[in-house]
Structure 1
Amino acid sequence: MPSSENGTSSSTDLLEARIPGAFPGVSRLSISTHQTLSQALHARRAEYTKPRNVRIKIGTWNVAALKGTEKDVAGWFVGGKGVEESIAGFGIGNPTSKSDKSRENVAEQEARSFKYGPTIPKHDDGAVPGEDEIGLYALGLQEIVDISSPAEALRPYTDPTVSNRFKSSLEEALPDGYQLVAEQQLVGLLLLIYASPAVHPHVNSVSTTSVGTGLMGYMGNKGAVTTRIVLGETTRLVFINAHLAAGADRAALERRNWDASQISSRTRFDSIVDGMGVSQVSGECLGEEDFAFWFGDLNYRLEGMPGDDVRRLLTRHTRDLDPPDSEGPFSTSSKSSDSSASSIAPPSDFSNPKGPDLNAVPLPPELDPASLQTTISSLLPHDELRQQQRAGKAFHDGWNEGPIQFLPSYKYDVGKVGVFDSSEKKRCPSWCDRILYRTRAAKLRHETKEREQEQARIMDEEMKSKGIDHAGDDEEVLYDYDPDTDGDTYDEYDENPEPEPEAVLTKEGFQDEILLEYYSAHMRVLSSDHKPLDAVFGLKYDAVIPELKAAIHQEVARELDRQENEGRPTITVVVDRPAGSASLENKDTPDTNYDGVDFGDVQFAKPKRRNITIANTGRVPATFGFTDRPVEEGQSPGTFPPWLSVTFDKQPDKPDKSSTDTLHQQYTLDPADVLNIELRLKIEMIDLVRNLNEGTATLEDILVLRVHDGRDHFLPIRGHWLQSAFARSINKLIRIPEGGIRKLQHQKPACDEGVKWSAPRELFRLTEAIEDLTERTLADWDMTGHGSDRAPWQHNAGWPFTKDARYPADSALETTLANVYEVLDCDHSFDKAFGLEVTPMQRLEVLAETLLEFLKSLQDGIVTQDIWRQLEDGIVGREKSKQQLSADEERLWTLEVLSSTPNHNVSFVLITSMLQRVANEIANASKPDPKTPRSSVDLPASPQVSIRRRTLSKVPDVAIRQLIKRNYATLFADAMFRAADTDKMKDKEKAVRKERMIRILELFLKEEDDS
């Protein structure tokens, strides 16, 4: 299954990966965004890399699902044995015996090939490098199980039993310390990669995958298993073990090309993770590596060649390997009988009738008509793989192959060294098994050539569209082909006895070199009808030294951080912490250890202020502003919480006079400049007061100060809420003991606590103080006269509950109101809330406003929703029946309904009695001079309700009393009554309902002489 040395896979990915031929999933690891750091680190790569050399051995073998093949795999692949030097391949020299015993001959080898042991000749010292000379072994096997069996091909899982036999054989033969780097099986395909002790520490980012192209184009009886590794964190290597479609007809050839294209397009690898655990690349495809090795049974045949003729031609080079008594079709006894049937004349032996000339200079193999090399050269032009490469249909995008200097690898009789297929099918020998390789440089050259060809094609079409045709003999040739400058021609056979290493610039920018050293077939491996192939590559690469890279990484990061900090705008936020200011009950002492703005004790309606200073402590101008803060469920969105406001001592960068939004303004400070900000906290929303009292809300939040191109600054703010009598219910207020709500030590009054008062103590205190101050105010006015000024009640019928034009509206009043609220909460004397300079009239006006605010804040009201529903139902019923009650009867009926809630009843009577007495006293003080004609008497203005004069009494003093009580009733109706569904009513219905409330209050304010 796909795996990654440093990565992890989800359960779904692992399940899908078990399906033969499944598409590999694309890794979801994120790509690092620190490109500047990567570039700076890459620029110093020479300081943390060291050149290393490694030999890579690639092996491929189709074992044809035959038993015993696992006993040969270690000998030829690890030991380099089984090579017949006379027909060996590229890089194989003359044999040099390392032991005293001579190697077993072919006859002896074939005679024992079926005795359940290795078929490799005994005393074979090996002709190809192996053992500990190799740093990376990559072995690709095909048909380790019978892929022709539908049951085997359609298995949902892979049985590891067979693959374990090959693994055990290899691991027993490998020198100590070699470790398995990658293993991948797809039905009959098996890929094993081992690394030496010196190379293994430099292998990382291993990713294996598989692509099935067999049955239905998806199953794993054909396809490829692929592994990507990274050497030394610098060099990407890809190993592809493939088994393509079989068959010698045209359709089979096209299917092989299709298989190869599917493997190329569908192969995906996991992310590459560097030595520091950072994901660099996600989901690499084939073609993005530095070096790729594609090997396996590619099944390309010799196109258009009669099988008998090819066998006869090749047998000239294998007959000396056959034992004298062999009965094979190309044994000595059958050579003469079949020679006349050949359509391809065998090479001349150039024999001299006079005998050999011992002084003649030997011809090189490529010039000797009788040599194996000449025979191979005559057959390779018919090789389908090379034909498809030239035609640009498969393996044409940079893939190369070493010189083929060995016999075709397929098909042989099992147990024979050089006997080609003697079965009834007598298949044509072919180079089905191949080892190809591609460098990044070759891939880029191919892509460049394709682009140039496409540009030439487009230009040619443009010329033709303009009527310029260069097809005639006499016309000028616009584009000519010069093989010296336009690219290399394909050489039928390119022998390079002294190959030079190919220099390759890797994807990471390192300079590597690769050299093909060996490419050969192991003819003397007899356990399969395919001969195994291997190739040895020498790779020189730059490997990262992790310790040096980590040190340079830290050094680069520090330098970049220093440069970035110097170039980034930087501000410093300083919170001014007051030493403490006195309040009526507490000392406001903010926590100096709190890393934010601490407003200390916070009470209802009393503003608190804190200052912060912002200084540009960087080297460049800094532009900043408050941005929307992160909010949790239930919090108000926006830049600031609703109980906080902000003012700046500097104009914003682009002030918008038409906009009231000053919260998102930007401010710019030059280096060393400062900006002062005042934060003002005030709790005046009744809903918030209720939630704070009940503990469902807190005065805690975070402001976000965003610096353009800099880091965000998070400024915590908090305050400690002091419990208030406002925004509570009468049922809770009557249980608060003497001493006020603060005496409960910020605990909520329990509903099961005993009743302390018949009505809220706050109502007793406020109504009593208002009555007393009304008398004092009227008496003071009579004594002083105030010159020519008119008394406020003489021109305002709602006074003192309706603000007079002369009523102060400054910060002093705000502070006084807050002090009065705190007096009620602490059950202190009202004298503590007023200074000596505050007159009785001003005190009366403040307490009158306090009473209205207190009544409006009550959760249940003086007349609850249930009580009002009963009252309204009775009124509506009488209106419908046109029943009229006298004023006394209606008052008694109202009190009877209110009696179901005694505490509300007492509160109602307490307030209406106070209003009646205050109204009568003010009305008496407003009596006009009896000598003044009635028509000349000026009635006070009616700010709460519009009243036509003709509806009032013609007696001036009675009319004044009517105006005052009508205004009081209108004003207190909103504060005392609670009604349901008012927001769903139309304006006319709302007006009718309010008129009914006013009428009830007027019943208790009027006296008999008011009408």
Structure 2
Amino acid sequence: MELKNQKSRYKRLSNWFTTKQKENKPSLSLYEIEDIVEDESDEYGELDSCISTNKLRIFVGTWNVAGRSPVGSLAVDLDEWLNLKNSADIYVLGFQEIVPLKTSTVIGAEDPSVATNWNNLIGKTLNNKFDFPWLTPMLNSSLPNDQENYQNIGGNETNKNKYKMVASKKMVGVFISVWLKEQVLEKYCVSNVRVCSVACGVMGYLGNKGCVGVSMLIEGTSFCFVVAHLASGEKKGDEGRRNHQVEEIFRRTSFPRTTKHHQHYPLTILGHDRIFWFGDLNYRLYLKDHLARHLIRKQDWKALQEFDQLQKELAEGGVFEGWKEGNVEFAPTYKYSSSTSNIYCGGGLPTRSGEKQRTPAWCDRILWYGKGVEQLYYIRSESKFSDHRPVSALFSTHIEIKSSSKELVEMHNIPPTILQSNHGVNKGEEDENFTSLSMLMKNVKGC
């Protein structure tokens, strides 16, 4: 039966190539073969890719750094946040307010040096270029003066456990930095890396609020990472502004096509296989301040979540319909007093002049969408660098490894006698041709 199926597959493939050779020139180019295979894949199921799966571990982190610039001593905090003892294959880091959100930074020209400094610090931390606990000052080297980076930095090329940056994008204070282990880059095909940004702050179009995103293809699986900073405020109705900005980001995000041959790659957020949305989403609690603090003292996170705006939106489908978030089993991440070590601001305590009174809330969140994603942990870190605490999640996800019919591109050099239909030949000749073609299309036959 298996031999019969293989012969049937051979005949269909042979007929298909013969037809295409008559329609096109005898020697087909690589891109023509790719386009033909994609066009015919629905009609000829036998030409579909042979698919296996592998797992990758993805670290996703978000941190609102309150307009503070990175310093060398911050590497200790980064090391704790990135949890390098439980290392991942991919690190995707999202920041908010890497610059102060004032008029000059919101409407002025982008300053790439801040993103460069953050990338330097991240690269040195990931690649263990600091000597803990005797921390050396941050080195003075820098990346090229460019806020959109696709180059590789840091790491020893001979060490497969080192990390390289594959994408970085900054919009005012919102910033994303994506790093892959060198071993992953060597083992898998990572392609079609694209970035975009959507500004939806003041007047709906300034960059004090909005998102930056990265799209990439790892083998046969597409990934999208979106870092967002949404509207602040805890007044009644402020959650509606956040919902509107989420809808705007979905509507207006469009990843550019890199070439005409990438027309089938996803352009929108929801067009991807695996999607991670994270950042200072600013959703608050439907609860009075003193009651929220009472539950926090009891560490009754389950009771507190019943009043969480984002959980309500997820449950009712107001936004993020069908999306998931892990169990929030840590204290609210905002707002800590800038003048004390580990105390939420307000609550009847004296504060600095002009400091806002805020009910503690889980502003910093990580969501995901798509099949084949398992969350391994969801935690916060305890850095006191800003009035937010950094949050991280570790995921395990499948990627599709495709042995596709695109690997048959060299078949346009096969002698015509092998590619022609077998009508009128005897069984011995048919078996001989079948064996020859099988050797050339081993990935298809092997499936």
TM-score when normalising by structure 2: 0.70
- Cα distance change of structure 1 residues 36 and 212 upon mapping to structure 2, 3 Å threshold: closer
Deviation readout 1:34-87 (Å, 9 max, x if unpaired):
5455455974532xx653221100000000102456743x4455x3x26xxxxx
Equivalent residue letter for 2:167: A
What is the match of residue 20 of structure 1? none
1 CA distance for matches of 2:53 and 2:77? 30
Aligned to 2:163: 178
Cross-structure match for 1:308: 290
- Judge conservation of contact 1:41–1:552 (CA < 8 Å) in 2: no
1:199 alignment partner, SS class: helix
Question: Residue 144 in 1 paired to residue 98 in 2?
Answer: yes
Q: Is the counterpart of residue 409 in structure 1 residue 333 in structure 2?
A: yes
Cα distance in structure 1, aligned partners of 2:166 and 2:72: 20
Cα pair 1:260 1:394 within 8 Å, conserved: yes
2:217 is the alignment partner of 1:286: no
Q: Is 1:272–1:282's contact at 8 Å kept on the other side of the alignment?
A: no
Letter in 2 for 1:437: W
1:299 and 2:303 correspond: no
Given the alignment, which residue of 234, 240, 260 partners 1:248? 234
Runs of 5+ in structure 1 lacking a partner?
Answer: 1-28, 83-127, 317-371, 440-503, 505-512, 568-1011
Cα distance in 1 for partners of 2:307, 2:206 equals 31
1:162 and 2:87 are equivalent in the alignment: no
CA displacement at 1:254 relative to structure 2: 1.1
| Matched residue SS, 2:285 | coil
Selected match of 1:552 from 408, 416, 433: 408
- 1:446-485 to 2 correspondences below 5 Å: none
Alpha-carbon spacing, 1:69–1:382, altered in 2? closer, same or farther (3 Å): farther
Q: Please name the residue that 2:55 is paired with.
A: 53
Partners in 2 of 1:143 and 1:38 — Cα distance?
46
Measured after TM superposition, the shift of residue 228 of structure 1 is 0.5
**For the Cα contact (< 8 Å) 2:70–2:117, is it kept in 1?**
no
Cα contact 1:239–1:292 (8 A) shared by 2: yes
Partners of 1:57 and 1:518 in 2: CA distance: 10
Question: CA–CA distance in 1 between the matches of 2:419 and 2:256?
Answer: 33
The yes-or-no answer on 1:377 pairing with 2:302 is yes
- Counterpart of 2:100 in 1: which secondary structure? coil
Amino acid at match of 1:64: A
Which consecutive residues of structure 2, in runs of 5 or more, have no partner in the other structure?
1-30, 128-154, 156-161, 423-447
The reply on whether 1:133 has 2:120 as its aligned counterpart is no
Task: Give yes or no for the alignment of 1:536 onto 2:381.
Answer: no
Shift of 1:130: 2.3
Aligned residues: 348
Cα separation, partners in 2 of 1:283 and 1:437, compared to 1, 3 Å: closer
Corresponding residue SS for 1:426: coil
Residue among 302, 307, 314 paired with 1:389: 314
Q: 1:256 to 1:192 in 2, by over 3 A?
A: same
- Pick closer, same or farther for the CA change 1:393–1:562 going to 2, 3 Å: farther
Structure-1 separation of matches of 2:96 and 2:39: 46
Matches within 5 A, 1:333-732: 372=299, 375-396=300-321, 398-414=322-338, 416=340, 418-422=342-346, 423=351, 425-439=356-370, 504=371, 513-522=372-381, 524-544=382-402, 551-555=407-411
**Offset from partner CA, 1:264-297 (integer Å, 9 cap, x none):** 0111113377xxx943416621211101000000
Deviations 1:475-506 (A, max 9, x none): xxxxxxxxxxxxxxxxxxxxxxxxxxxxx3xx
Q: CA deviation at 1:163?
A: 1.2
What amino acid maps onto 1:263 in structure 2? I
Structure 1 pair 174/244, CA: closer, same or farther in 2 (3 Å)?
same
Q: Give % identity.
A: 29
Tell me which residue corresponds to 1:204. 191
Please give the alpha-carbon distance, in whole angstroms, between the structure 2 residues aligned to 1:306 and 1:254: 19
Q: Tell me the distance in 2 between the aligned counterparts of 1:154 and 1:282.
A: 33
d(CA) in 1 for partners of 2:211, 2:237: 20
1:263 aligned residue: 249
C-alpha offsets along residues 361-397 of structure 1, whole Å, 9 cap, x if unaligned? xxxxxxxxxxx3xx1111111111122223322112x
Question: 1:282–1:36: structure 2 CA closer, same or farther, 3 Å change rule?
Answer: closer
Relative contact order higher in (CA < 8 Å, ≥ 6 apart)? 2
Q: Which structure shows the higher strand fraction?
A: 2
Deviations 1:659-695 (A, max 9, x none): xxxxxxxxxxxxxxxxxxxxxxxxxxxxxxxxxxxxx
**Contact 1:64–1:146, Cα closer than 8 Å, also in 2:** yes
Per-residue deviation, 1:564: 9.1
Query: Tell me, what secondary structure is at the counterpart of 2:270?
Result: coil
Question: Counterparts of 2:68 and 2:410 in 1: how far apart (Å)?
Answer: 56
Q: 1:223 aligns with which of 183, 186, 210?
A: 210
Q: How far off its partner does 1:313 sit?
A: 3.5
CA displacement at 1:192 relative to structure 2: 0.2
Residues 415 and 168 (structure 1 numbering): CA distance in 2 closer, same or farther, change over 3 Å?
farther
| AA aligned opposite 2:97 | E
Which residue does 1:65 correspond to in 2? 67
- Superposition RMSD in Å: 3.1
Which deviations, in whole Å up to 9, do the C-alpha atoms of 1:631-653 show, x marking residues without a partner?
Answer: xxxxxxxxxxxxxxxxxxxxxxx
Aligned twin of 1:153: 106
For residues 33 and 250 of structure 1, the distance between their equivalents in structure 2, rounded to whole angstroms, comes to: 55
Report the counterpart of residue 470 of structure 1 in structure 2: none
Q: Match for 1:165: what amino acid?
A: N
The whole-number CA distance in structure 1 between the counterparts of 2:114 and 2:332 is 27
Distance change in 2, residues 1:36/1:262 (3 Å)? closer
* Deviation for aligned residue 1:418: 3.2
The residue identity in structure 1 corresponding to 2:205 is Y
CA distance in 1, matches of 2:225, 2:53: 22
Q: C-alpha separation between the residues in 2 aligned to 1:379 and 1:314?
A: 8
Question: Which of these two proteins has the greater Rg computed from alpha carbons?
Answer: 1
Which amino acid counterpart does residue 533 of structure 1 have in structure 2? V
**Could you tell me whether the CA contact under 8 Å between 1:131 and 1:174 is conserved in 2?**
no
Instruction: Say whether the 8 Å CA contact 2:212–2:226 is kept in structure 1.
Output: yes
Q: Is the 8 A contact 2:47 2:405 kept in 1?
A: no
Q: 1:309 to 1:164 in 2, by over 3 A?
A: same
Q: In 2, are the aligned partners of 1:211 and 1:267 still within 8 Å (CA)?
A: yes
Corresponding position of 1:32: 35
Change in 2 beyond 3 A, CA 1:70/1:55: farther
| Structure 1 SS opposite 2:206 | coil
* Residues 200 and 210 in structure 2, CA contact (< 8 A), matched pair in contact too: yes
